[in-house]
Amino acid sequence: MVLKAFFPTCCASADSGLLVGRWVPEQSSAVVLAVVHFPFIPIQVKELLAQVQQAGRVGLAVLGTWCHRRQEPEESLGHFLEGLGAIFSHEPWLQLCREPGSKLWSCKATRWQAPPGPAAPGEDQIMLIFYDQRKVLLSQLHPPAVLLDRQAGDAPASVGDLAAVFDTVARSEPLFQSDRFGEGPVRLSHWQSEGVEASILVELAKWAAGPVCLLLASLLSLISAASACRVFRLWPLSFIWSKLSTCEQLRRRLEQLTLIFSTQKARSPAQLMRKANTLVSVLLDVTLGLLLLSWLHRKDRIGQLADALIPVADHVAEELQDLLQWLMGAPAGLKMNRALDQVLGRFFLYHIHLWISYIHLMAPFIEHILWHVGLSACLGLTVALSILSDTIALLTFHIYCFYVYGARLYCLKICGLSSLWRLFRGKKWNVLRQRVDSCSYDLDQLFIGTLLFTMLVFLLPTTALYYLVFTLLRLLVVTVQGLIHLLADLINSLPLYSLGLRLCRPYRLAAGVKFRVLEREAGRPLRLLMQINPLPYSRVLNTYRLPSCGCHPQHSWGSLCRKLFFGELIYPWRQRGDKQD
């Protein structure tokens, strides 16, 4: 098997020294982590490695020597480096060397003992793979390679080659804590040796986050305790809560805030990412809500809105009245059953009349209601959107009523027709066996049944017309509400933090790696450059999408059409199973 040496690019310009890293015997690969410079005391190097090994639970060792020939050939150094192999015994002993030409690398792996296989003792075939230590350390492989439970001790041996490399680099983070300005006994060269990367702002935020989270978490627990109070669980109130989408949105917001300010530390990177995504989406939501609030409160827009609302409701009612008048005549040249038509039309007209008087009763208070409701936009745009959706539902309540009446009437007729049609054919529905059985009817029963069937058939078009018109109106309202819910769901479930990370730091979310073959000269080892392959946007979305509140349509198109045809009630998409019937 070819011996693979993973070498960090940041060490390519380091001075000569010792190579420190991990040897993975299963894949016969050596992961070089750092270069130890002269002068050092071997005992101290071993102590340092033992410390890191204890902290990160990863088996580190001195893998070999690194020789960087600057100008003059240093013959004595070469002999010295070879001699070091006797002090730090390792199998195989790597000897990496870089010539002054900067492109010429040579690599030698010496095995002291003969390997068990048929291969001759001595030198193996070697492949040099360069990797960017910083990116490999910070990136996160997708899908996560087997469960890396840190309690389990040593790195799992079964994971793939590259996962082992990533894991090794991630676990030996304590090795990278020392920079070259430190006073430690051993001088190392690695990606942070020019100075440890950190930000004052981040440190301050970390320092402040603890008490702030504690305070807010206690406040939130108080609020959730109050909302769980028994008074709100009584019958009429609980019914109202379950119908209003605003309440659901508020509950959701409370859950999100609890998640953000929970004092527990995120256990896995996925949880951390979820927290960050939730935080960003809440921040965006609140920002948009505040913008909306400031827009509403400037130039007395709320007053204008309230003034416009009543005429709009009036206008809708007027249009409906016109529609009903048209239906009561001869709509589209159809000749309806006059008596039934008149009855239905008057019934609906009276309903509209009731509705208009109700709206006019409300008129003086609408501005105040709007002003107070507008304040809720500071909780976020999604809350404002759900309030808008609820308002639409309330304002079009008469359309909903018409639809329900029409649907019930139509459903009744369809049911009657279907059972009479069976009677017509001399059959009946057997409830116990759940099937259609044949049955012998009396002459009277047949006569009455046929008479009723004929009447229902002739009355059906009138009812069907009313049903059709009001179903169309209802579908329009449901579509508008569905779009509003879709928008709110989009804001709630978009993983903005992950998308931003993918856009600005593509290496943080890695789908894998890719290799590039570097220029090669005959007789020298093959050199490859390992780069991070970023996760595609679609997979970022799929992996990190926040759980949405189930806005996906319950019905397929076919079942929707079936329900419409048989006059069963359809509800907005949002409704849950318990409100189905």
Partner 1 sequence: MEDEQSFSDICGGRLALQRRYYSPSCREFCLSCPRISFRSLTAVTCTVWLAAYGLFTLCENSMILSAAIFITLLGLLGYLHFVKIDQETLLIIDSLGIQMTSSYASGKESTTFIEMGKVKDVVINEAIYMQKVIYYLCILLKDPVDPQGISQVVPLFQFTGWAVGLQRDSSQRGAVRPELLPLRPHPCRLDPLVVGERLQMQQP
Q: Which of 393, 293, 292, 405 is nearest to 343 (CA)?
A: 405
Smallest separation, CB 81 to partner 1 (Å):
26
Nearer to partner 1, 28 or 337 (CB): 28
Distance CA 340, CA 346 (A): 10
Q: Which residues ranging from 460 to 479 are in contact with partner 1 (CB under 8 A)?
A: none
Stretch that binds partner 1, among 51-59, 81-89, 428-436, 526-534 (CB under 8 A): 526-534
Closest distance of CB 514 from partner 1, Å: 4
| Per-residue binder mask for partner 1 (CB under 8 A), 146-175, x = binder | --------------xxx-------------
Question: Which is nearer to partner 1, 157 or 343 (by Cβ)?
Answer: 157
61 vs 45: CA distance, rounded Å: 10
Stretch that binds partner 1, among 316-324, 340-348, 515-523, 555-563 (CB under 8 A): 515-523
What number of chain residues touch partner 1 (CB under 8 A)? 20
Asked if 513 interacts with partner 1 (CB under 8 A), we say: yes
Nearer to partner 1 among residue 26 and residue 314 (C-beta): 26
Residue 127 CB, nearest distance to partner 1 (Å)? 7
Closest CB 511 distance from partner 1, rounded Å: 8
Q: Which residue, 186 or 528, has its beta carbon nearer to partner 1?
A: 528
Of 208-216, 242-250, 357-365, 514-522, the segment contacting partner 1 by CB under 8 A is 514-522
128 makes contact with partner 1 (CB under 8 A): no
Tokens describing residue 569: 């009630």
Q: Which of residues 24-83 bind partner 1 (CB under 8 A)?
A: 27-28
Shortest approach of partner 1 to residue 97 CB, angstroms?
A: 18
Region of 263 (left: φ > 0; alpha: ψ -120 to 50; beta: rest) is alpha
Q: Does 123 bind partner 1 (CB under 8 A)?
A: no
- 520 makes contact with partner 1 (CB under 8 A): yes
CA distances from 400 to 170, 268, 397, 469 (A): 60, 48, 5, 12
Query: How near is the Cβ of 166 to partner 1 at its closest, in Å?
Result: 12
- The CA-atom distances, in angstroms, between 466 and each of 135, 413, 568 are 66, 13, 15
Token pair, residue 201, equals 């702002």
DSSP tag of 122: S
Pinpoint the alpha helices (H) of 301-442: 301-328, 338-362, 366-375, 381-395, 397-424
Phi and psi, residue 314, nearest 5°: -60, -45
On the 0-12 / 13-18 / 19+ scale of CB atoms within 10 A, 557 is exposed
User: CA–CA separation, 579 vs 554, rounded Å?
Assistant: 13
* Contact track, partner 1, 78-117, x by CB under 8 A: ----------------------------------------
Minimum distance from residue 8 beta carbon to partner 1 (Å): 18
Closest distance of CB 117 from partner 1, Å: 13
User: Which range, of 93-101, 228-236, 298-306, 512-520, touches partner 1 by CB under 8 A?
Assistant: 512-520
Q: What is the 3-state secondary structure (H, E, C) of 515-579?
A: EEECCCCCCCCEEEEEEEEECCHHHHHHHHCCCCCCCCCCCCHHHHHHHHHHCCCCCCCCCCHHH
Nearest to 4 by CA among 43, 45, 32: 32
Residue 129, beta-bridge partner list: 6, 528
Q: How far is the CB of 71 from partner 1 (least distance, A)?
A: 30
CA 491 – CA 277 distance, rounded (Å): 11
Letter string b/e over residues 109-128, b meaning 16 or more CB atoms within 10 A of that residue's CB:
bbbeeeeeeeeeeeebebbb
Q: How far is the CB of 115 from partner 1 (least distance, A)?
A: 15
Q: Which of residues 528-547 bind partner 1 (CB under 8 A)?
A: 528, 533
Give the footprint of partner 1 on this chain (CB under 8 A): 1-2, 4, 27-28, 125, 127, 129, 160-162, 512-515, 517, 520, 526, 528, 533
